[in-house]
Amino acid sequence: MTADKTLTSLTYATDETEFFIPMPTGYQPGQTKYVAVFGTVMSGLGKGIFSSSLAKILQDKGLTVAPIKLEGYLNRDSGTLNPYRHGEVFVLNDGMECDMDLGTYERMLNQDLSHLNFTTSGQIFSSVLDKERRGQYLGRDVQMIPHVTGEVKLRLRELAVSTRADVVFVEIGGTVGDVENAYYIEALREMSYEEGPGNFCFVTLTYIVEPRILGEQKSKPAQLNLKLLNAAGIHPHIIACRASAPVTKKVREKIAMFANVPMQRVFSMHDCDSVYVIPEMLRGAGIDAAVIDLLDIAGSVNEKTEEEARRVWADYIARFREAKHPVTIGIIGKYTTVRDSYASIIQSIEHAAAAVGAKVRLEWIDSTDLTKESVADALSKMDGVIVPGGFGIRGVEGKIACIRHARETHIPYLGLCYGMQLAVIEYARHVAGLPHASSTEIEPDCPQPVIDLLPEQKKLEGLGGNMRLGAYDINLTAGSLIAGLYGGRECIRLRFRHRYEVNPDYIEQLEENGLSFSGRSPELPIMHALELSTDTHPFFVATQAHPELTGRPLRPEPMFVGLVIAALRRSGVEPDRKTIERLTAGDPNHPQTSAAADAGTT
C-alpha cells in the first residue's frame, strides 16, 4: 500500500500537484520490497559484499532477489575508468561495462545480470534530458526534485517488474555526504514514503576506526556520518560495523544509542578469510531474521530450500578451508598494486583451488619491472602464471618475456584477453619465423601485425565504440585441451571486452608452426582461444575472452581449474581423478553453455 492511494496514478508532475511517481506498466506498489544499503565514513567498506551476502541468504529462503548498483559518476558506464581509480571493469552478458560489485552479486547469487542492474548519474541525466526534449515533462521546468529523483525511482520499479523480484537490493555507491550521491538518497527517501510502511529496509555500513597509537576502537567518525544520513531523512533499521577485528559490545552500544537502532540490529562485520563466509556471519547475527521481520515477508520463506542451500554452501566453505596442497601462481600485470583491478581473477582462482584441494598463494609481479634478464629469477618459484587483460604499451615487453619463459620452461600458463594477444606475438617472434611481429595497438606501423583491428572495427569511432563487448559463442575444436576442460562441448559462451584480434593473414603460418587456435567465432574469422599440444607443454592455454567473469563458487571456471590442476602437478601433487572427472563432466547448466546449446542445437 502507498502512503496515499492517489499517488499511484501520478506519472507526471503538473501545476495541480507536486507528486511525481513514475510507474512502469505492471507495477503494483507494495508487491516488491526494497533493501537500500548506504556507506559512511569511507568508500571501499564492502557494501557490495554485504548487500550480495544479505541478498543470498534471502534467496536461500526461496525469495526472488534482484540487485541494482547506483553510481554517482557522470560516465554512462565504467568502460573508460582507470583500474587504479575504480578497480576492474566487470562486463555483463549484454555488454554493459559496470562496477566490480556486479561481479560480486553474480558470483554470490549465481545470476547473470543485465544493464537493468547498473545505473550511473550519466545514464540518469541523459534519460531526463532526452525526455525533456521530447516534451514528456508537460512544459515544467526540469529539476533535481521531482524529475531526476523520479527517474531513479522509475529505474528501481522497472527492475522490480522485469525480474518479478520479491526483494530489490539497492546499493548506493560512494559514501553519505558525497555531493553526487545526494539525489539518490533523496529518491530513496521519497520512494519509501510512496511505497508505504513495511516496504523499505535501510541498512548502513559504517567504519569503526582503531588508531594504532590508541589501541582501541573509536566510533566518533561513524556517529558523525550517521548524523548526515539522518539529516537526509534516512533513519537506518540495521547498521553493519566494518572493522579489521570484531567490534566490541561497548562500541556497538554507542552506535545503537546514537542512531536509535536496537542493539540486536547493530552488528560487527569484521575481516574474514573469504567473502563467501559473510552470508553465514549475517545469519549468525540474526540480520536475515531482522529483515524478514521489518519487511513482513515471513510467509514467503521456504525452510527446506534454505536448509539445502546452506548445506551446499557450507560444503564449498569446508573445501576452501580444508585445501592443503600449496601452489604459487604469479599474476603478471601492470595494475598489481591495486588488487581490485583483478578481483574476478582472484575469485576464480579461489573457486578452482577449493574444487581441487589446492591452497593457492598469489605472487604479484609488475610487468614493467620484468626484463629478459630478470624474468627467470622472477618466475623461479612459480607453479603457474597468468597474464591478464589490459590495454596500452606499458609493461608489454615484460609480459612477452614472461610468456616466453613460461612456454620454454613448461610453467603452466593461462593468458586472458591481452594475455592471448601477447602469447600470439611471442610465439610468432620466437617460433613462427616472424621476428618483427607485434600489434598495431603497440606499434601502429609494425611490419608484421599479427594482432590488428578487423576492418569492421576500424569503421567505428570512440574509445567505447569499437569494443567487442558482452557474451559471444565460441566453437571449440573437438579433442582439444580446451574442449576437454569444458566436458567435450562443441560450443561455449564467454564474455569479451577488447578491440584487437589475431590477424587472419597470419593464422595459417602460426598453426603450421604448432600453435593451435582451438576456439573460434562461429561466424567471423576471429580466433577466441589457443593452446599448445600437451605433448609439448603441460598447460599452455589463452583466450581472447574473460572467463573469470563467469566463474562461480559452486561452478568453477574450467580454464582456471585446468591451470590449478597443472600447477598442482608441477608442484609434485597428482589431483584426485574423480574430482577431475566431476569438474569436466560437462554440466549443461553451466554459465558458459552456449546460446546454441540453450536452443538445443549443439
96-148 pLDDT, tens digit each: 999 899 999 999 999 999 999 999 999 999 999 999 999 888 878 889 999 99
* Confidence check: pLDDT of 7 > 50: no
- Give the pLDDT mean for 318-338: 88
Report the alpha-carbon distance of residue 485 to residue 189 in Å, rounded: 49
pLDDT of amino acid 587: 52
User: What pLDDT score does 16 carry?
Assistant: 65
| Amino acid found at 366 | D
Supply the pLDDT for residue 599.
33
Cell reading at 468 = 567487442
Of all residues in the chain, the percent with pLDDT exceeding 90 is 69
The residue annotated as part of the active site, out of 325, 417, 557, 590, is 417
The lowest-confidence range among 336-350, 433-447, 540-554 is: 336-350
| Domains of the chain from N-terminus onward | 5-314 (3.40.50.300), 323-453+500-582 (3.40.50.880)
Write out pLDDT tens, residues 487-521.
999 999 999 998 899 999 999 999 999 999 999 99
Express each pLDDT in 143-170 by its tens digit.
999 999 999 999 999 999 999 999 999 9
* 3-state DSSP percent of the chain in helix, strand and coil, to 5: 40, 20, 40
Cβ neighbours around 283 below 10 Å, total? 17
At 586, the pLDDT band (50, 70, 90 cuts) reads: low
Peptide bond into 29 cis (omega under 30): no
How far is Cα 296 from Cα 560, in angstroms, rounded to an integer? 42
Residues 6+ apart with CB under 8 A from 333: 341, 342, 364, 365, 366, 367, 387, 388, 390, 395
Active-site residue 241, yes or no? no
Largest CA distance in the chain: 79
Kindly list the strands in the beta sheet with 468-476, ordered across the sheet, starting from the edge strand earlier in the chain: 358-366, 325-333, 384-387, 413-416, 540-543, 527-531, 516-520, 468-476, 491-498
Is residue 39's pLDDT more than 70? yes
What residue ranges in 409-482 does DSSP mark as E strands?
413-416, 437-439, 448-452, 468-476
Report whether pLDDT(365) > 80.
Answer: yes
- More confident: 157 or 588: 157
Sign of CA dihedral 564, 566, 572, 576: positive
pLDDT of 594 > 50? The answer is: no
Q: Are strands 97-98 and 468-476 parallel, antiparallel or unpaired?
A: unpaired
| Residue linked to cell 563467469 | 550
Q: Which of 585, 534, 555, 592 is nearest to 413 (CA)?
A: 534
- Output DSSP code: residue 450: E
Give 387 or 221, the one with higher predicted confidence. 387
Distance, CA of 501 to CA of 530 (rounded, Å): 13
Q: Is 389 helix (H, G, I), strand (E, B) or coil?
A: coil
Angstrom distance (rounded) from CA 266 to CA 483: 50
Mean pLDDT of the 241-253 span: 90
**Residue range 366-375, pLDDT digits in tens:** 888 888 889 9
Note whether 235 and 201 are within 8 A (CB): no
Distance of CA 218 to the CA centre of its chain: 32
- Say how many C-beta atoms besides its own lie within 10 A of residue 246's C-beta: 14
E strand or H helix at 191 = helix 182-195
Question: Residue 543: which residues within 8 A CB-CB, separation 6 or more?
Answer: 415, 416, 417, 420, 482, 494, 519, 528, 529, 530, 559
Residue 201: active-site member: no
Q: Is 512 in the active site? A: no
399-402 long-range CB contacts below 8 Å, 24 or more apart?
A: 399/332, 399/367, 399/370, 400/425, 400/426, 400/429, 401/370, 401/371, 401/372, 401/375, 402/330, 402/332, 402/365, 402/367, 402/370, 402/375, 402/378
The highest-confidence range among 47-61, 324-338, 564-578, by mean pLDDT, is: 47-61
pLDDT at 466 over 80: no
Q: Higher confidence at residue 341 or residue 580? A: 341
Whether the pTM exceeds 0.85: the reply is yes
pLDDT at residue 53 in the model: 96
Mean pLDDT, residues 529-537 taken together: 95
Q: What is the pLDDT of residue 458?
A: 58
> Is the per-residue pLDDT at 598 higher than 60?
no
The SS3 call for residue 167 is: strand
The pLDDT of residue 393 is above 90:
no
Asked if the model's pLDDT at residue 460 lies above 60, the reply is no
CA torsion sign for 242, 245, 248, 254 is negative
Confidence category of residue 12, pLDDT binned at 50, 70, 90: low
Please report which confidence band the pLDDT of residue 336 belongs to, taking 50, 70 and 90 as the band edges.
low
Q: What is the pLDDT of residues 23-34, one digit of tens each?
A: 899 999 989 999
pLDDT value of residue 457: 58
Distance CA 489, CA 595 (A): 13
pLDDT at 463: 44
Residue 11's pLDDT is 56
In this prediction, residue 144 carries a pLDDT of 92
Average pLDDT over residues 291-315: 95
As a whole-number percent, the residues of the chain with pLDDT over 70 amount to 91
Choice among 441, 546, 557, 590 that is catalytic: 546
Catalytic residue among 88, 171, 195, 548: 548
User: What integer pLDDT is reported at residue 488 of this predicted model?
Assistant: 92
Is-contact 155 68, C-beta < 8 A? yes
Q: Say if CB 125 and CB 74 are below 8 A apart.
A: yes
pLDDT of residue 531: 97
Mean pLDDT (the chain, rounded): 89
Give me the pLDDT at residue 8, please. Answer: 42
- CB–CB of 537/337 below 8 Å? no
Q: Is 451 helix (H, G, I), strand (E, B) or coil?
A: strand
The residue to which cell 563458487 is assigned: 553
Q: Partners of 498 in the beta sheet?
A: 468
